[in-house]
Structure 1
Amino acid sequence: MEIFMKYIRVFLFAGIIAFLSPYKSFANSQNTFNQLILAKSSLESRFNVQSVECFPFKENIGFTEDQIPLIKNCLAGVRLLTSALDSVVDPEIHTVGISTRFLRTGGFNTVLIPWNASLPETVAFLENRLSKERQGLFLAKISTLKRKINLKLRIPSLYCSQRISNEQCMAGYESLSSVEMPPGAKPVRWKEIVLDNERGLGENSHSYRINYHASSEEMFAILLMDPQKEWSFRKRMYDDIKSKFKGAFEKRLQVATYFCSTELTVKNCLEGIASLSQASERQVMRMKAWGEVVIDEYNTFIKDDFDVSIRFDLPTDELVSYFSSKENRAEATENAVLVEKLEKRTLNNPSGLRAVCDLDGMRSRLCVGAFKDFISFVSSHRDYRVKEPWESVMFIDGTQLARVNFALNSPPRHSYIYIDAASGAEELQTHLTRFGKQ
């Protein structure tokens, strides 16, 4: 009888959630991003999973379109996680990365799960966690090690990357805590040290990544390095690039900003720069709109009307062919002007929704289509009123991993309705209807 009542309570609770939530039914959605954003919101409301990222550490993707299957796999991973959490008592998982491996990281509320794992092994992983007492002891030891490190080394910012496990993080702190600075040694000049699974420069000139399993001697040598000297070679490299290629980039292509990712060697960076310089001799490339150009180790992406990344070893002919689909300057300008006009037409509509585009990572022609669909919807559904607390609809390029992750975890997600800009009129109507007053 007790078991029966337990299932009755679960059933009633699920029914209440389904009744109250606009995410109660998304099986009929045809768009991967729209299904994903709804599935994540359901995870958050049902299990308090506050953050979900799709393949957060995936670096080697390929071309722009190669992100699409990853987003589909992410949706499969979120559905897997939802099914698994239904079977786990008090999982206490707040942050999830849909990935290719199981990992507990960043404490005890953050996990990575493989998108294609089986349900039983996912449930087993989530259930296999330390007791509260052992978690407390673990965190206390981490705090003790960090205090010891801080007293000796005085590193302003020290933390572990979420690429490594809790145990690997502990091992890294233990090695770092055994580093002894000799009397009279210069203080550590790095403002940020990140224990990671790779060694290399961090995100800025004052950050460095140390491999968690490096020896104390290796860590000591890194801490003594001068950040200014480590970055000076890159400054010399960019000075050299500017002197040789300024005409190609700033005059022919009118590129606003260009640089190489920090993972690239000087040789590889110059290889990518030279390839782009050769491409700039083609008239078709000179007609394009260029903003920020990143020479990357792995990826060639068209991010929006202006910004791109280019794999360093992409042959010139292939580079020109791939970017031939990119908007010309005239097309980009025309679409941008049209976006402004259409946005004004969306204002003060009776639905109660403000319509905006995520132009940080979207080609403006996508935004044009989305605004036209929205205007058509509110014009043909004049009695539509959005429920509170929803106040804005934001159109996203649902095929770009970075923008998908932004939408999944953005602070205003509890008042913004996110939808793929390429949804089309029918899908937009279906999606917005979920958030409308009955």
Structure 2
Amino acid sequence: MANNRGVTYQGPGKVEVTDLDYPGLVLRDGPGVHPDNVGRECPHGVVLKVLTTNICGSDQHMVRGRTTAPEGLVLGHEILGEVVETGPGVEFIKVGDVCSVPFNISCGRCRNCKEGKTGICLNVNPDRPGSAYGYVDMGGWQGGQAEYVMVPYADWNLLPFPDRDQALEKILDLTMLSDIFPTGYHGAYTAGVTTGSTVYIAGAGPVGLAAAVSAQLLGAAVVIVGDLNEERLARARSFGCETVDVSKGDPKDQIAQILGVPEVDAAVDAVGFEARGHGAGAAKEAPATVLNSLMEVTAAGGSIGIPGLYVTGDPGGIDEAAKVGALSLSLGTGWAKSISFTTGQCPVMRYNRQLMMAILHDRVQIADAVGATVISLDEAPTGYAEFDSGVAKKYVIDPHNVTGKAA
């Protein structure tokens, strides 16, 4: 039996690469595993040799100690891999298939799955609707920042690539299909971006940049990206976006300089609950800042897509309300302007095949846009530290050096 190693959370600010059990077709007990999920048999599952697995900003929330994640949790929900073992209930996925793994774990059988709401599957997490690999309060399914991982309901969940050689050639683009590309697209799509739209995206991290690429793909006339980090803003400008430095003041004033009016047709929150203030308050955390700002700059009747993460438990929240996810929102502004919101996990399967086709046919270069940077599994702790410092990179862990770019 092969060995296995993976990246584990070891307390605020600390991750380690540790030895793990080789995955079987059963959900074993471990950090974060819900008691009702322990021993859950998965004859419908497969074991993947992980080819690439990415560090996500959502992982950083846990590593910073801003969630209730338990120590020892195996991290990683952005996974691309090769099937090395199939369960007896798997009919269509074959050993040797190279596949993208949606970060949402879903059964394909419940009411929500049948309606395409795979981010809120009713059967995979005893705590609440919705699940994900290697994430707090998501049922305890082991994360994919490892050499091997088990994927349940494989015929339903996996997106196999049509040609292995082509997939390996475009692996740095295709690895973004597990989360950030569909998530960014979901943010832009649910904000109503279409041909000729003007769009403001708050946040120039990987999800914000993916949302900007998606807005361009959807036909936006002008895409404006706001952030505090000049290196990230420069990356947005590199593929044709306008930018706003929110440390210099209210975004609406800078938007007005770009468009001639202080509002946009559609807006996306790619920041989430660790938002900071604008202008002179930019150094201080102010978790409602982005949502309140987006309600101001979105035109009446417009929509806001909210792929940025908000949580119900934040030990590091700035006050008691923030610690339970209660923010001081100017909902009256949104109500008066008839603004629509879409929140929650992106239902990755709603978009991933279409976005795969856009990648395979060279309609989009998402890896370049988000600054894909390959590292080895052993370099993961360094990657987490550098990503947390604000570098304009998307770290891609390559446990088996299939890209030839890992140290």
TM-score (norm 1): 0.27
Structure number with greater CO (CA < 8 Å, separation at least 6) is 2
More strand by share: 2
TM-score (norm 2): 0.29
More helix by share: 1
Which of the pair has more CA radius of gyration?
1
